[in-house]
Amino acid sequence: MKKLLFLALFTLMLSCDDGDLQIETVDFDSITTVQSCGDVSVSSSNFLFKINGDEALIVELPSGLLKNEVSTTDIKRELDTSTKVTYRIFSDNVTLAYFCDELPPLTPSVVEEIEASAGFVLITTVAGEGDTFVHTIRLSEISFVNKDGDTRITDLQINEFGTVTTSL
């Protein structure tokens, strides 16, 4: 009986697989600062990101999606080849220099990158001070899928991406 119990426990231990790191949640709501490499513009594409230690959430918006006019309803854009949301995990804490230097630093390196396969970017624009416009960017129904096609994120908490300002 002891041998059978030992064999069963040994088989159970060998059959357990930690597998790949499963990301349970992406939560950037506590990070209020949206960063970019230079001024945000309505006439060019925009690369926006939020950094949370060794993680980054990146939103790429095509030229013309942000407009210097007050919106009465949300501008809703489905993710496609020009509108992207990407989640990256790095080997160490990442800084603005990683994204904005002409030659990015060698470290930290990207451990995992997952591009959203579905979802929407919602933008509301209000008038700011002077000749500026404030764009509130929200994410909706974002679905991150790994390269194998398995859904990786089960608890997505990134509804409010943040605000950016453009000027005339």
Quick check: is 3 in a domain?
no
| Whole-angstrom distance, CA of residue 103 vs CA of residue 52 | 22
The tens place of each residue's pLDDT in the chain, 168 residues long, gives: 555 545 555 554 444 444 444 555 677 878 889 999 999 999 999 999 999 999 999 999 999 999 999 999 999 999 999 999 999 999 999 999 999 998 878 889 999 898 888 889 999 999 999 999 999 999 988 888 777 766 556 445 567 899 999 998
Quick check: is 138 in a domain?
yes
| Predicted pLDDT at 73 | 93
In Å, how far are 67, 77, 121, 123 from 74, measured between CA atoms? 12, 9, 9, 5
Quick check: is 58 in a domain?
yes
User: Domain tally for the chain?
Assistant: 1
Quick check: is 55 in a domain?
yes
Quick check: is 81 in a domain?
yes
| Whole-angstrom distance, CA of residue 31 vs CA of residue 120 | 20
The whole-model pTM stands at 0.80
| Predicted pLDDT at 3 | 58
For residues 133 and 150, the answer to whether their CB atoms sit within 8 Å is no
Range of the domain at 108: 21-167
Quick check: is 119 in a domain?
yes
SS (H, E, C) the chain: CHHHHHHHHHHHHHHCCCCCCCCCEEECCCCCCCEECCCCCCCCCEEEEEEECCEEEEEEECCCCCCCCCCCCCEEEECCCCCEEEEEEECCCCCHHHHHCCCCCCCCCEEEEEEEEEEEEEEEEEECCCCEEEEEEEEEEEEEECCCCCECCCEEECCEEEEEEEEC
CA angle in degrees (0–180, nearest 5) for 149-151-153: 145
